[in-house]
């Protein structure tokens, strides 16, 4: 392509959104900001499409639909958190666009549907994913490790988790930790939803389901380990015992650059890493007793039939309630467990998934009162 690649950024005012604008700005001959969405904040940017407002408002949704299906749009960066990103993602994929996906919730709630939406364009072989390019650093790492490998040669994936702010403090009472403590992530600067998800380790549960759909790897062949330095972004083990990992600083501009430039590489996307920064790397087992989120996510994914959508929606609502100081931190995972236990199962169609999503939100709103007293 001789003209710059036209990029639409959904959630341009957020952490991923702003870093995406930075990557675009630093590569003006290669990328052009074609469109963007803003919520309550502003980027003061101009583009062919500027959509302001909240997802769910008819005017916002209609304009986003026009933007992501516009024939001039090449790549859509999806970085609006939560279930509300599903509609625009499906529209972009159905319109034949490449999607650089930060919003893992989309694949958690409707992974099979989303992967089907670009199946016609995929080349079949695992490393040649076309259509969806992961931005999550772990999935970007796995994606890069898989380039040049054949699916039958992959034994397992290993997702690394920083552990969030509480993992290294086993004596902390998780009923008592504050919103400020939960938002104080030791490694990454991110939006509030994903930061709280990192603290509960639900982020890793969501990423487990995301990896399963994205790479077509069975759930029982995906492991999680704690790696507090966040330098090894994830690993792939091959059948001969080789381990491939992608390493780098905790800087989301790198996976964003990888997603936008694929199959090319951008020069100097992030500063070079010194070997000293790679010293003292630690890896630990996940304590599923204290942090049961990954187990819950795995169980929900095995059950299917709307359970992943319930996991995701219940978690979104519970995180919202925690950030509003309505429930304690430990109430987030308890709420999700309660919702999963009460859910009778649904189907795999879009309607069934949206029903499961609505059911879970209502369940959490109705039942969060019982957690307030803690």
Ligand X SMILES: NC(=O)c1ccc[n+]([C@@H]2O[C@H](COP(=O)([O-])OP(=O)(O)OC[C@H]3O[C@@H](n4cnc5c(N)ncnc54)[C@H](OP(=O)(O)O)[C@@H]3O)[C@@H](O)[C@H]2O)c1
Q: Give the interface with ligand X as residue ranges (CB under 6 A).
A: 11-17, 37-41, 54-55, 79-81, 84, 102-105, 136, 188, 190-192, 194, 252
Q: What is the smallest separation between the CB atom of 189 and ligand X, expressed in angstroms? A: 7
3-state SS class at 124: coil
State which residue, 77 or 371, has the beta carbon closest to ligand X: 77
Q: What is the smallest separation between the CB atom of 39 and ligand X, expressed in angstroms? A: 2
| Dihedral over Cα of 193, 213, 145, 130: its sign | negative
Instruction: Give the integer Cα–Cα distance in Å for 254 and 265.
Output: 10
Q: What is the smallest separation between the CB atom of 190 and ligand X, expressed in angstroms? A: 3
Say which residues have a Cβ less than 8 Å from residue 346's Cβ, sequence separation at least 6.
Answer: 305, 306, 309, 352, 353, 355, 356, 359
User: How far apart are the two ends of the chain, measured CA to CA in Å?
Assistant: 58
* Pair 185, 262: CB distance under 8 Å: no
State which residue, 74 or 105, has the beta carbon closest to ligand X: 105
State which residue, 87 or 331, has the beta carbon closest to ligand X: 87
Task: Report H helices in 95-191.
Answer: 104-119, 137-146, 179-182
Instruction: Give the integer Cα–Cα distance in Å for 347 and 354.
Output: 10
Q: What is the smallest separation between the CB atom of 287 and ligand X, expressed in angstroms? A: 23
Q: What is the smallest separation between the CB atom of 286 and ligand X, expressed in angstroms? A: 19
* Pair 228, 250: CB distance under 8 Å: no
Which residues partner with 132 through β-bridges? 99
State which residue, 237 or 316, has the beta carbon closest to ligand X: 316
Q: What is the smallest separation between the CB atom of 105 and ligand X, expressed in angstroms? A: 6
State which residue, 14 or 131, has the beta carbon closest to ligand X: 14
State which residue, 186 or 192, has the beta carbon closest to ligand X: 192
Which residues partner with 52 through β-bridges? 38
């Amino acid at each position: 392509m001789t003209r710059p690649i036209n990029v639409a950024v959904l959630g341009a005012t957020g952490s991923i959104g702003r870093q995406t604008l930075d990557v675009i700005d630093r590569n003006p001959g290669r990328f052009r900001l074609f469109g963007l969405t803003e919520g309550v904040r502003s980027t003061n940017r101009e583009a062919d499409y500027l959509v302001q407002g909240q997802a769910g408002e008819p005017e916002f949704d209609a304009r986003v639909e026009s933007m992501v299906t516009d024939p001039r749009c090449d790549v859509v960066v999806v970085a609006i958190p939560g279930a509300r990103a599903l509609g625009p993602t499906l529209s972009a994929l159905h319109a034949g666009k490449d999607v650089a996906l930060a919003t893992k919730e989309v694949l958690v709630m409707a992974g099979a549907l989303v992967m089907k939406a670009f199946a016609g364009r995929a080349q079949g072989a695992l490393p040649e994913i076309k259509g969806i390019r992961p931005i999550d650093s772990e999935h970007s790492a796995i994606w890069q490790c898989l380039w040049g490998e054949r699916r039958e040669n992959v034994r397992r994936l290993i997702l690394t988790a920083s552990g969030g702010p509480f993992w290294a403090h086993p004596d902390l009472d998780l009923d008592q930790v504050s919103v400020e403590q939960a938002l104080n992530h030791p490694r990454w600067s991110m939006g509030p939803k994903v930061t709280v998800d990192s603290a509960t380790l639900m982020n890793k549960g969501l990423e487990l389901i995301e990896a399963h759909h994205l790479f077509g790897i069975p759930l029982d062949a995906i492991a999680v380990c704690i790696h507090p330095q966040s330098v090894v972004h994830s690993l792939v083990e091959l059948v001969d015992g080789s381990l491939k990992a992608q390493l780098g600083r905790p800087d989301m501009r790198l996976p964003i650059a990888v997603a936008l430039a694929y199959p090319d590489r951008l020069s100097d996307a992030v500063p070079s890493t010194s070997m000293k920064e790679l010293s003292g790397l630690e890896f630990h087992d996940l304590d599923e007793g204290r942090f049961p989120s990954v187990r819950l996510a795995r169980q929900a994914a095995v059950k299917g039939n709307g359970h992943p959508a319930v996991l995701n929606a219940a978690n979104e609502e519970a995180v919202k309630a925690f950030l509003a100081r309505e429930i304690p931190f430990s109430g987030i995972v308890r709420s999700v467990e309660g919702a999963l236990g009460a859910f009778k199962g649904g189907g795999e169609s879009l309607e069934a998934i949206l029903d499961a999503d609505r059911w879970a939100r209502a369940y959490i709103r109705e039942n969060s009162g019982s957690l307030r007293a803690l």
